[in-house]
Structure 1
Amino acid sequence: MKRLEGKVALISGTARGQGRAAALRFAAEGALVVGGDLLYEQALETQRLIGRAGGVALTAAPLDATDENSVRAWVEEAVSAFGGIDILYANAGAVRFGAVDTQPYADFAFTLRAELDSVWLAAHLAWPHLERSHGSIVTVGSTAGLTGSLSNRRTAHSASKGAVIALTRQLAAEGAPFGIRANCVSPGMIDTEGSRGDLLAEDHPLRAAADHIPLGRIGSPYDVVRAALFLASDDAAYITGHNLVVDGGWSTVLPGPPNPLP
């Protein structure tokens, strides 16, 4: 039997990257996927890819994960179409990097809204339905929420992702009496369309990050999604409040020579 057979999965940010990978993988595991993204045409293409593979998906309208009315409509569409919600994968986010002394406050606020408010809004509005289904929440943190960086100026990103990890633990505490589990997956460096435009760009110091990752490579969206799938599924039925780091061991080691002696 497929791991998510018949479960209704809300997944935000399904236009590309980790969100598209999650939608495809969750659908392949039997989930009824309700996707959403401001990049609506790309989100519809994700829906078409799922359909061609024999899965079931719905992308009703453009989703602004930072707008309460938009998120409410997204949740209501899922319930109307499939009768409830079993899984919330709050994946959507956007970031503007900058140092604390030079980044405009507007960029700091934008990042917190896109990366933190989007998670709270989705959990807040899906909560009554997750109570009924004894559902599962998966959020997306980051190694940026665990450690500082000498290579990337990212005060807003670090603050928002650290807050997502903390919020997830509180969701686990508040959800436990209702059988709701909440866990976080925290990626390290992942090769996506977005990261290729900044952190993995030719002129960025982190371009050579793979040299310092113990497993010797940059992660893929599917590395993250496999972890999220586990946390969302009944295989993790006794796991809640956990932050699962998916970074090839990057955050576990001190900086040092990329090729140590045998």
Structure 2
Amino acid sequence: MVDRLKGKVAVVTGAANGIGQGIAQMFREEGATVETVDIKGADHSADLTDEAQVQTLFAAIGARHGRIDILVNAAAFAVFDWIETLTFDDWKRTLAGELDIVFLPTRAAWPFLKASGAAAIINFASANARHALEGSPALAHCAGKGGVLAMTRQLAMEGAPHNIRANTIAPGFIRTAATDRHLSSDPAFRAKVLAKNMVKRLGEPRDIAFAATWLASDEAGYVTGADIPVDAGATAW
């Protein structure tokens, strides 16, 4: 299928690399007008944890198009450490990089999502939103992703009267520049990931982009408040 997003205006944050970049590319392939945002390397450069910058950015995007049909909050930042050594500053930085970075763009985009008449918000949860992973020092990340999952359910409720849908995707291990560094530094890590996966390969950004394209399209018009795991079955057993 082609042109599944034809005529739609999409904003994708965290679009300079990885999952966000893959989604922005596929959205363009499917006919959307895409505005990309990142700290650098995108159409728009902004610190998405800075309230003033976010308000200014979305006001400009809204003025240009008059509406936003799709908002993908793919930008995120987290510090991984154990509770015994996790500093309070890193805890706060992670919650800002997981929660503020979703809240601020969504709030700023809200009037333009309402103007769409049929809008979609796509956020990113994680397996860590539902359970801990043995050996992973992800306390702050777990808290942040759990918050995104709960926030998105609330957004689905608040958005429903305005025909705004809100869903999360929960990716498994996806190969990006950042995760490739983990693979190269720990040769045993790939085997650990594949041992947990039912589908015995590593994920690619396009695997997530296919799910995001469906959620953003009119095909998913009856889907809101859902969490879609795209993880090779890793959380299913």
TM range (shorter): over 0.9
Report the counterpart of residue 88 of structure 1 in structure 2. Answer: 71
Answering whether residue 45 of structure 2 is matched by residue 62 of structure 1, we say yes
Give the superposition deviation at 1:205.
6.1
TM-score (norm 2): 0.94
Report the counterpart of residue 199 of structure 2 in structure 1. Answer: 215
Report the counterpart of residue 13 of structure 2 in structure 1. Answer: 12
C-alpha separation between the residues in 1 aligned to 2:20 and 2:79? 19
Identity of aligned residues (%): 39
2:169 pairs with one of 163, 167, 185: 185
Report the counterpart of residue 28 of structure 1 in structure 2. Answer: 29
Count of residues paired in the alignment: 234
Report the counterpart of residue 121 of structure 1 in structure 2. Answer: 104
Give the superposition deviation at 1:106.
1.1
SS at match of 2:190: helix
Worse-matched range after superposition: 101-110 or 161-170: 101-110
SS at match of 1:123: helix
Uncovered stretches (5+) of structure 1, i.e. residues with no partner: 44-58, 254-262
TM-score (norm 1): 0.86
For 2:75, the aligned partner's letter is A
For 1:157, the aligned partner's letter is H
> Per-residue CA shift, 1:203-248, capped at 9, x if unaligned?
3764321122110111111111111111111110000000000100
C-alpha separation between the residues in 2 aligned to 1:3 and 1:242? 21
* Matched-pair contact (CA < 8 Å) for 2:129–2:142: yes
* Matched-pair contact (CA < 8 Å) for 2:149–2:168: yes
SS at match of 1:69: helix
1:164 pairs with one of 125, 130, 148: 148
Answering whether residue 220 of structure 2 is matched by residue 236 of structure 1, we say yes
Report the counterpart of residue 179 of structure 2 in structure 1. Answer: 195
Uncovered stretches (5+) of structure 2, i.e. residues with no partner: none
Displacement over 3 Å in runs of 4+:
204-207
Give the superposition deviation at 1:104.
1.0
Give the superposition deviation at 1:131.
1.1
Report the counterpart of residue 149 of structure 1 in structure 2. Answer: 133
C-alpha separation between the residues in 2 aligned to 1:122 and 1:8? 15
CA RMSD of aligned residues (A): 1.4
> Per-residue CA shift, 1:80-111, capped at 9, x if unaligned?
22221111001100111001111111111111
Report the counterpart of residue 47 of structure 1 in structure 2. Answer: none
C-alpha separation between the residues in 2 aligned to 1:116 and 1:201? 30
Report the counterpart of residue 137 of structure 1 in structure 2. Answer: 121
